[in-house]
Amino acid sequence: MALRASDIPQPAPETGFDPDDWKAFSSLLHRAVDDMVDYISTVADRPAWQPIPEQTKALFETPLPETGIGLDRTYEHALQNVTPYPTGNIHPRFWSWVGGTGTPHGIVADLMISTMNAAGLGFDEAATTYVELQLLNWLKSMFDWPETASGLLVSGGSMANLVGLAVARNAMADFDVRNVGLGHQRASKLRFYASTETHSSVRKALELLGLGANALTLIDIKADHSVDIRLLRQRIESDRAKGLLPIAIVANAGTVNTGAIDPLDAIADLCAEQNLWLHVDGAFGAMAYISELASHQVRGLQRADSLAFDLHKWMYQQYDIGCVLIRDQAQHRETFNITPAYLKKLGTGLASGPTDFSALGVQLSRSARALRAWMTIQSEGIGKFRRLVDQNILQARYLSQRVVAEPQLELAAPTILNIVNFRYRADGDDASSDQLNQYILEQLHERGIATPSSTVLNDRFCIRVAICNHRSRRADFDALIDGVLALGQEFESPSTLPNGSS
């Protein structure tokens, strides 16, 4: 018997997340835009950082709500309890780790990205795919890479290193990694080389690639914190004589500790001579290539087989957007390409886009993150970035001069690009002096003066200032010096530190 409509159970009214009142939503969105413009335009008037009150933290411990409180109240909740307590990297005195500042252009782009909610597949015939391809071509041009090279936008430098080293592993191994796997008897003989200053993501990448930390040979550095290429050559030749298989060198274009740059041209020559893959980790330092002041320092990165860098560092973009370039497009695709029937590209319609980004990396679902950088470059031109990179380099030199001019301060390492490491001179032994410098750094944060980060160089605690900030001005570095001197004088020796200070 035929099923009648009256026999089908009637469901509850259908619903979704769109508002019932679009005008009210528009009013809230306009208010949010005004609030965020006020927030970013007055950022210099606020502390560089402030601790989150315990009562605010407690608000984030409430259980999962069954019924919501509505968008208006939720927005108020976020405005009062989230935006006042950020990491702070939009502030002109933020110099921690290597963090970019973001641009107003990116705010506009993020509104568009979230509204379109494009998937970033590449084989979808959507304008965002062409935006990403154009951005990749711009980036290749920026670094004097060939148009035929391959590229992929990723979440950041760590993922860019993973992708680049995966291609190096598969391309340079003397067995079929994809089909045979790392159970092959030759797998344990593969060796990668990098300096002791190389970012931890390189080791993590090799571990994730199944090669293990032992596959990474760390080479000692010289006084300027760059790799000792003489020792590098000796170790490669020694390993080869032992029956191991050297396949790649990871060279640094700006180490995270000091901004040190390995001799890229000389390493490229060594790779050509020894038939090795050259991967350059240029997470932030690659941007020196467009600099009028420092491009000569990173000459050679255009010769790499793969190059990793971040646009959310020294290209000032909002998180998260990194990139990897691979010289040989076929090798890149052969490392990742799998095309199941449900992702088949068609001749026309939605699935007829020009590429397939999932064939070049780990992710299938991706946001249209390219729009942020595309809008900023399109709006300002690469010349503006060039001037800002030079501005940061000059600011680093200025800060270094201020440090050298103060008897109570000392540089802890040469200032190579945009990273300055220094210390407050203190009486007492090394441990107590380190304790005082750590306390000074913590108080710079707690009092909202500035937010440098820290590192350890030559076994000594250092205040580390990484300048990837387009909002910083010389007056901000003067304020940093004044703050450090005042805090050092407030506690003239480590013995006067408050009880319980770390």
CA 265 to chain centre: 24
- Other Cβ atoms less than 10 A from the Cβ of 98: the count is 24
Q: What's the pLDDT tens digit per position in 178-192?
A: 999 998 888 999 999
Half-sphere exposure of 24 (CA within 13 A, CB side): 7
Q: What's the pLDDT tens digit per position in 438-494?
A: 999 999 999 999 999 999 999 999 999 999 999 999 999 999 999 999 999 998 665
Tell me: pLDDT of 500 over 70. Answer: no
Closest CA to 424 of 491, 475, 498, 495: 491
- CATH fold of 24-50+85-102+381-502 reads Aspartate Aminotransferase, domain 1 (3.90.1150)
Cα torsion at 273, 274, 275, 276 (round to 10°)?
A: -120
Q: What's the pLDDT tens digit per position in 263-277?
A: 999 999 999 999 999
Q: How far is the C-alpha of 261 from the C-alpha of 225, rounded, in Å?
A: 8
Q: What's the pLDDT tens digit per position in 217-230?
A: 999 999 999 999 99
pLDDT for 280 equals: 98
Tell me: pLDDT of 501 over 60. Answer: no
Task: Judge whether 318 and 103 are in contact, CB under 8 Å.
Answer: yes
Helices marked H in 289-341 — which ranges? 329-336
What is the three-state SS of 373-437?
Answer: HHHHHHHHCHHHHHHHHHHHHHHHHHHHHHHHHCCCEEECCCCCCCEEEEEECCCCCHHHHHHHH
- Which of 3.40.50.720, 3.40.640.10, 3.30.56.10, 3.30.2310.20 would CATH assign to domain 118-380? 3.40.640.10
Q: What's the pLDDT tens digit per position in 399-411?
A: 999 999 999 999 9
Q: Residues spanned by CATH 3.40.640.10 within the chain?
A: 118-380
Q: Residues spanned by CATH 3.90.1150.170 within the chain?
A: 24-50+85-102+381-502
pLDDT for 491 equals: 82
Q: How far is the C-alpha of 119 from the C-alpha of 126, rounded, in Å?
A: 9
Which residues, listed in sequence order, are joined to residue 191 by a DSSP beta bridge?
Answer: 246
Assign residue 415 a region (left: φ > 0; alpha: ψ between -120 and 50; beta: otherwise): beta
